[in-house]
Amino acid sequence: MTGSWTLVRAALATLTLTFPNLASADVKLHGATTVTFGLMRPQQAEIERMAGVQLTILPSSTSHGLTDLVQGKADIAMLAEPLEDIAAVLNAKQPGFVDLELYVGRHVADAYVQIIVHPSNPLKTLTNDQLAGLFSGRIGNWSEIGGANLPVLAVGEPTSSPHRMIAQALGISYAPDLRVVQNANQTAVIVMQAPGAISYISTAHDLPIRDKLRIVNSELKLPLQLHLAYRKDAPEQVLRVIDAAARVGAQ
């Protein structure tokens, strides 16, 4: 009997080497909160099941996600814009930081940017000129555009994709006294608390406090493409996660 168990254990050891326990593999994803809360967190269990891995998901921003991928801190970067676009932003700050020959970006889902204000704000629609004034500091009080007599508090996360996209679309620089937060979800928390606040989230942000915000109608229509980026030499378990996320995102 002892000899039989020895043979069984040897056979199991061989199988473990040949077919490793996929569920024990851990894949680290860092980056955009849009991708985190719009796709990866809500669908984490299904993606893990399909890919046969465990995921560690760290929400930060598109810029931080790609930076962590380049520096080897993450296996996958979650991006709220195409890889080439955010690589250009990072390379403008540090030439050669992202060598695009080493990375692949894959479009896995879609969302769009939403402008948010405190629910007590009586303005339901804002023009692009008004948005430009509010975010740039040119309009300092809501009463200037028919709102309450309250100072404008612009809130933003400067490393996020929506932050850059809004500035580019409106042709502005943000107000010097912009209230800076660490991730885009925190913009919603500030706006919920401050009657004079204005900021942004995306349709992909799965927030329990959405009913405590007002989504403003505007001329500004900014689509967000949700992407995952990875190294071309990434291990097979990373590729399985990418494929699983793309399948789930397409549903």
Mean pLDDT of the chain: 88
Question: What's the pLDDT score for residue 101?
Answer: 97
Is 50 exceeded by the pLDDT of residue 124? yes
Cα 236 to Cα 51: distance, rounded to the nearest angstrom:
10
- Under a CB-based contact definition with an 8 Å cutoff, are residues 49 and 3 in contact? no
Q: Give the least confident one: 25-34, 133-142, 183-192.
A: 183-192
Is 50 exceeded by the pLDDT of residue 246? yes
Phi, psi values for residue 232, rounded to 5°: -65, -25
| Mean pLDDT within 53-78 | 96
* Residue 71, number of CB atoms within 10 A of its CB: 9
Is 70 exceeded by the pLDDT of residue 53? yes
Q: pLDDT digit string (tens) for 217-231?
A: 998 989 888 999 999
SS3 14: helix
Is 60 exceeded by the pLDDT of residue 133? yes
The residues facing 181 across adjacent strands are none
What is the distance in angstroms between the CA of the first residue and the CA of the last residue of the chain?
A: 52
Which segments of the chain are extended strands (E)?
A: 26-31, 54-59, 76-79, 103-117, 125-126, 153-156, 179-180, 197-202, 214-218, 223-231
The token pair at 46 is 């299904």
- Under a CB-based contact definition with an 8 Å cutoff, are residues 170 and 156 in contact? no
pTM, two decimals, is 0.71
